[in-house]
Amino acid sequence: MALKVLSSDGLLRSLIDGEIDIAVAPLTSQLPEAIRSHTLFDELTSIVCRKWHPILACDGAAMPKEIAACAWILPSTQVSARQRIDAYFRKHKLHGLNAMVENTYGSPVGVFMLIANIDLPGICCAQHHRIAEQFDLEAVRVPDLRWTRKIVCLVRKAGALSERSAGYQLVAGNRQSASS
């Protein structure tokens, strides 16, 4: 078995192209017709900022209006996490978040280093919380905030197996024939 670590887009492209047979990735807003998904779990995303950020001084929890007033490090508007963030603020009738820095969030280390050294909050998914802690970032408590993304198993609906899987299937079949 071979393991490929790619961005979600890269995994999806490799799956469609037949280079891999299965992918585990966040569910995208527009899944190609040729791909089937199965939800594995919902992953929580939270707001993080550096220790001593003014937003952490709020009594108990920060309110949506206070958070919306901040300048942010955010992914682009095409990313599903950003779409959930924008929808949350629209729900609270707060429009036009100030994305001071737009980042792909492809690597959390660079983003977290920025957040740790400037007054811009950003987002952090559950799988990256330990990395955020190493940068002394803190989660911002916000009432009724629950941003999740679905982590899914993706497979092609039809088509041949990848070369690696087809080769494994051939070897396994030959072993069964030899043992009969």
pLDDT reported for residue 158: 84
pLDDT reported for residue 167: 67
pLDDT reported for residue 124: 93
The larger pLDDT score, comparing residue 4 to residue 83, is at 83
| Fold that domain 43-148 belongs to in CATH | D-Maltodextrin-Binding Protein; domain 2 (3.40.190)
Is residue 17 over pLDDT 70? Answer: yes
As a whole number, mean pLDDT of residues 55-82 equals: 86
Note the Cα 79 to chain centre separation in Å. 9
Backbone angles phi, psi at 44, to 5 degrees: -80, 135
pLDDT reported for residue 79: 79
As a whole number, mean pLDDT of residues 111-135 equals: 93
Residue that has been written with the tokens 């190493």 in this structure? 134
Structure tokens at 157: 């609906």
